[in-house]
Structure formats: structure tokens, C-alpha cells
């Protein structure tokens, strides 16, 4: 199934109400193979989490680079030359 599943958890089994079938491998820590049918919402959730973590790392790097640029272009008073 392409995703967009409505999951119902019954113990360790995740059941998709929309596609009316259980997730083949179970959604707790197992990846689905491309040729397997079933709920793929766990895989999409993992991909979304990875994208968010990558975006957070990129934002952190941009922030650190901005601090270095600000320190260069706007030096503190003790670094400015006195005329």
C-alpha cells in the first residue's frame, strides 16, 4: 500500500483500518521490503524523522557559520583600531 494508513495497535500487531490488512513484518523496528504489501507508515515515519534530524544539523551548522561571520564583520570594540 502507498501509505496513508489508519493504524490500530493490537498488542504487537499494527493493523491498517484503511487497507484492511496487518502490517506484514510488524512495525516495531522492522523495515518493509519493496515487494511486500502492507502498512508502510512506520517506514515513512522513519524517513521523516531522518529528514528532521538532518535539517536540524544543517540549521545548527548555518547558525555556527553565521556566528563566525558576525564576529568577522562586526568586531568587538577591543578589536577595532583607534584613530
pLDDT band of 4, cuts 50, 70, 90: low
Q: At 72, list the grid cell.
A: 568577522
List, for residues 10-42, the tens digit of each pLDDT value.
766 667 776 666 665 455 445 545 555 555 666
End-to-end, the C-alpha distance of the chain in Å comes to 72
Tell me how far apart the 2 most distant CA atoms of the chain are, in Å: 79
Dist. CA 58–CA 64, nearest whole Å? 10
Domain locations along the chain? 7-73
Average pLDDT, rounded, for the chain: 69
Chain length of the chain: 83
Amino acid at each position: 500500500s502507498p501509505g496513508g494508513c489508519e493504524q490500530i495497535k493490537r498488542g504487537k500487531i499494527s493493523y491498517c483500518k484503511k487497507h484492511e490488512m496487518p502490517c506484514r513484518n510488524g512495525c516495531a523496528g522492522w523495515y518493509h521490503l519493496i515487494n511486500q504489501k502492507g502498512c508502510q507508515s512506520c517506514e515513512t515515519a522513519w524517513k521523516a524523522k531522518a529528514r528532521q534530524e538532518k535539517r536540524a544539523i544543517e540549521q545548527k551548522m548555518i547558525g555556527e557559520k553565521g556566528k563566525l561571520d558576525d564576529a568577522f564583520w562586526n568586531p568587538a570594540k577591543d578589536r577595532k583600531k583607534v584613530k
